[in-house]
Structure 1
Amino acid sequence: MHQLTEFSTRKNLDVALAQTVSQILAQAISLKGKASIAVSGGSTPKGFFKVLSQRDIDWSKVTITLADERWVAIDSQDSNTRLVHENLLQNNAAAANFFHLKQGDELTDETLTDLNVAASKTLLPLDVLILGMGEDGHTASLFPCSDEINVGLDEKNDAVLMKVQPKTAPHQRISFTFASLITSKNIFLHSCGEGKKTVLTQALNGDDPFEMPIRAFLQHPSLNTQIFWAP
């Protein structure tokens, strides 16, 4: 299932999404003393990150991570970790904790096992998940072109995190699995631009998640993916 909310400007979207997300995080802190959120990379969320970073909540009790990450140096322009540090872990949100997906030089099986254990204990279930969407309908690093897509979309997959090597995009990736992401209490798809609206329409009009993995979230019978879109 999905719910689409359209905004006239990206600024209006950023403000509304930041307000909604900060309220959810604050409620989680009030209920259980902590909160967790996974965000996505790319240029789309930068404005949202900057607005969210200024929200007045107890950020010291919030753990932020990424839905996926490229296995590149943290100072690389392609690093989502760098993006989050420069745009979200600022202002009030500088007090938040950050769970690094990219740890070490190589994504070994041992590293992946350790990260799976730590993520399961520290983060799950996520209070908030902010997804993005590529032109091919991928989300997180669940790429339709990858050999790992069947495992990645398997709801019975016990793994929290997985290696992915997309064939149509650079860099090895680490990504949360679909099975772990759907345990999130609040799921949002943040999308901007007419091109992405076309992709979204295509995703909503088809039913094969292996062709467009975002469909697995948008059309899942027991999920409510909230779509925030602006031109």
Structure 2
Amino acid sequence: MNVIDYADSDMLMISLAGALSRDLRAALARRERATFCVPGGTTPGPVFDLLAAVELDWSRVDIVLSDERWVPEDHPRSNAALVRRRLFQGPASAARLVPFWRPGMEPAEAAEALSAEIAPLLPLDVALLGMGADMHTASLFPGATRLDLALADDAPTVMAMAVPDQPEPRLSLTAPVLRNAFALHLVITGAEKRAALERAQGADPLDAPVAALLDQAIVHWSE
């Protein structure tokens, strides 16, 4: 497991934003369009603020969420809304976001449509993920419905998931899609998540879904 420790969260966010921008530039030099996977949650917000000001050809970047709650974009729990608010500013506003919410569709129907739309954009060029203290990443939660299918090598690109004790269904990129990213970064902060990360190493992904990605990911951590 490749873990980079930072002296503080400010240093982490600045260094991570630099690494992501370098990876995006490398991807744009390699092919016509780059696919950038981003998470929701509060942790990556400062990284998005820094990336938004980076000068690169954002018009050639497709931004795909790692996962989304099944809520419209004007809902306070929408990951898409958070990403638009924090990342789609300044130069980065020229990027294209692939939204997961599809009005008039059920989650499983939307997952099928999204799989067809996102598949041509794969493999992910750059992926940024978070992790919960329960060792979930994206919407791959311990105990989620069909988690075994989402972890399988032949999983579809996007799956609808129901998560215990969560009010909405979720859509998530599956483990093989995330694992096959050219550059995979995992950002965590705090002692509780660092301890969870250590527990996840070598664990059964059904119990610790993030374990399915740790061999490929660069982990960025600060207290």
Equivalence for 2:55:
56
Amino acid paired to 2:198: T
CA drift at 1:160: 0.4
Residues 178-211 of structure 1: per-residue CA shift (max 9 Å, x gap): 122222111111111122112112212x421111
Residues 122-159 of structure 1: per-residue CA shift (max 9 Å, x gap): x21000111111121111111111121111111122x1
Amino acid paired to 1:193: G
The CA RMSD measured in Å over matched residues stands at 1.3
Question: What is the number of equivalent residue pairs in this alignment?
Answer: 223
CA drift at 1:109: 4.0
What secondary structure, in the 3-state scheme, does the structure 2 residue paired with 1:56 have? coil
Cα contact 2:131–2:210 (8 A) shared by 1: yes
Equivalence for 1:142:
140
What secondary structure, in the 3-state scheme, does the structure 1 residue paired with 2:74 have? coil
What secondary structure, in the 3-state scheme, does the structure 2 residue paired with 1:101 have? coil
TM-score computed with the length of structure 2 as normaliser: 0.95
Identity of aligned residues (%): 33
Amino acid paired to 1:164: M
1:226 pairs with 199, 203, 218, which one?
A: 218
Cα contact 2:108–2:159 (8 A) shared by 1: no
d(CA) in 2 for partners of 1:82, 1:187: 23
Amino acid paired to 2:220: F
d(CA) in 1 for partners of 2:190, 2:102: 33
1:184 pairs with 181, 184, 195, which one?
A: 181
The reply on whether 1:195 has 2:187 as its aligned counterpart is no
TM-score computed with the length of structure 1 as normaliser: 0.92
d(CA) in 2 for partners of 1:108, 1:166: 13
Equivalence for 1:41:
40
Amino acid paired to 2:204: D
What secondary structure, in the 3-state scheme, does the structure 2 residue paired with 1:28 have? helix
Equivalence for 2:126:
128
Residues 97-134 of structure 1: per-residue CA shift (max 9 Å, x gap): 1111122144354433221111001x210001111111
Alignment CA distance shift 1:81-1:54 (3 Å)? same
Cα contact 1:49–1:88 (8 A) shared by 2: yes
What secondary structure, in the 3-state scheme, does the structure 2 residue paired with 1:33 have? coil
d(CA) in 1 for partners of 2:108, 2:150: 16
What secondary structure, in the 3-state scheme, does the structure 1 residue paired with 2:18 have? helix
Structure 2, unpaired ranges of 5+: none
1:216 pairs with 202, 212, 216, which one?
A: 212
What secondary structure, in the 3-state scheme, does the structure 2 residue paired with 1:65 have? strand
